[in-house]
Amino acid sequence: MLNWYKKRLEEMRQPIAVIILQRLDRSGKYLGLDELIRVTGQNRGMILQGLKYLHGKGLIQSNTGKWNAIKASSGASTFGITAEGKNVLRA
């Protein structure tokens, strides 16, 4: 099913969303925002745009509903995506 979503996103020309889905950590650990920035080579704004898009399609869920709550400094808050495809914003 995940492959179907990847194909659909590619058709919709959302490459950053495809990359985010490909980077879901199967071990259940959190994939931090900084890790997404490093592996994709994209900036924070592009990744947040992809996350908002995935959330709008119902592929990931926001516990807080505040995607712009991620600070510029990576120390205070960590954004992670679990293997289930859900994100967590934790202090």
How many Cβ atoms from other residues are within 10 Å of residue 71's Cβ? Answer: 11
Q: Concatenate the DSSP letters of all residues of 36-91 into one string.
A: HHHHH---HHHHHHHHHHHHHTTSS--SSS-GGG--SSTTT-EEEE-TTS-EEEE-
Give this prediction's pTM.
Answer: 0.48
The predicted pLDDT at position 72 comes to: 33
Q: Using one digit for the tens of pLDDT, what is the confidence trace for 38-56?
A: 777 778 778 777 777 776 7
CA 75 to chain centroid = 18
Question: How many Å from the N-terminal Cα to the C-terminal Cα in the chain?
Answer: 32
Q: What pLDDT score does 13 carry?
A: 61
